[in-house]
């Protein structure tokens, strides 16, 4: 019971900022980039870390942390093993949500949208930019599959390193996803738990993340 009481007493006083409609940039992309600069400037650990939530075809949710590797007018991009749990769930449902948890700034960004695959030429370009060890690791791991012990990975890595002594090509089971946002919510912690929540919601099918039209801004109750 003492541990439970300690958990109930853990609180943070949110007093680092406010968010009003007049503060927002003209587009979701510009607003995200401005907040991302703040997160990076504050030297947060891995400001591009984001929680990715997916759902299986039979409605079972799952979530994990991945790294944002690009954001542009299309949406938010990350890379992964396409045969992993997240990869197969995205392929089946095309539905995804992202959360950027910038705790030290008392901020978070929540994205909900449709997932589309990154074009293969873009995936190849990003893959080639990765350290050699990471590229070998991508070939080594059959992500999300059960293995007997760590030696399975170590043995596979040695085999892959011998197979690709020079160039390490893009595996056919590895690629990227872009989350094309339908909503992007900017959350700023406030006193008394009366937080500011402003959400861009897409109102035009062809609107991009960079457009200043095709979106409406809604204030949500905390």
The enclosing H or E element of 158 equals helix 150-163
Residues marked as catalytic: 193
Report pLDDT for 1: 58
Listed as own residue / partner, the contacts of 61-70 with beta carbons closer than 8 Å and 24 or more positions apart are 62/86, 62/89, 68/100, 69/126, 69/176, 70/126
Mean pLDDT by 10 residues, the chain (222 residues): 78 94 97 98 97 97 98 98 97 98 98 98 97 97 94 97 97 98 98 97 97 97 98
Q: Distance between CA 97 and CA 123 in Å, rounded?
A: 21
CA distance 222 to 206: 30
- Looking at CATH, the fold of the domain delimited by 15-130+173-219 is given as Pnp Oxidase; Chain A (2.30.110)
Q: Supply the pLDDT for residue 173.
A: 97
Domain ranges of the chain: 15-130+173-219
Determine contact, residues 44/105, Cβ cutoff 8 Å. Answer: yes
pLDDT for the residue 87: 97
Closest C-alpha among 191, 70, 157, 159 to residue 119 = 70
Q: What pLDDT is stored for residue 2 in this prediction?
A: 66
C-alpha torsion sign, points 203, 111, 59, 172: positive
- The gap from C-alpha 185 to its chain's centroid, in whole angstroms, comes to 14
Tokens of 76: 């938010």
pTM of the model: 0.94
Q: Cα separations (Å) of 95 from 36, 109, 156, 165?
A: 24, 17, 33, 38
Please give the pLDDT value at position 5.
74
Task: Work out the number of other CB atoms within 10 angstroms of the CB of residue 77.
Answer: 19
């Amino acid at each position: 019971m003492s541990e439970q009481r300690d958990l109930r007493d853990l609180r943070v006083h949110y007093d680092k900022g406010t968010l009003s409609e007049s503060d927002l940039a003209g587009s979701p992309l510009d607003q995200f980039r401005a907040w991302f600069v703040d997160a990076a400037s504050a030297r947060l650990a891995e400001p591009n870390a984001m929680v990715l939530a997916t759902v299986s075809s039979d409605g079972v949710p799952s979530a994990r942390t991945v790294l944002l590797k690009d954001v542009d007018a299309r949406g938010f991009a990350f890379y992964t093993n396409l045969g992993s749990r997240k990869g197969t769930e995205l392929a089946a449902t095309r539905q995804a949500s992202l959360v950027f948890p910038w705790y030290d700034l008392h901020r978070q960004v929540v994205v909900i949208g449709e997932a589309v695959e990154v074009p293969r030429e873009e995936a190849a370009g990003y893959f080639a930019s990765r350290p050699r060890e990471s590229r070998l690791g991508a070939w080594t791991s059959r992500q999300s599959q059960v293995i007997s012990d760590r030696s399975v990975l170590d043995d596979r890595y040695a085999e892959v390193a011998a197979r690709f002594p020079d160039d390490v090509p893009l595996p056919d089971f590895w690629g990227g996803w872009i989350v094309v946002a339908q909503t992007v919510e900017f959350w700023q912690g406030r006193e008394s738990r009366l937080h500011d929540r402003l959400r861009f919601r897409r109102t035009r099918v062809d609107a991009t993340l960079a457009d200043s039209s095709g979106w409406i801004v809604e204030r949500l109750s905390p």
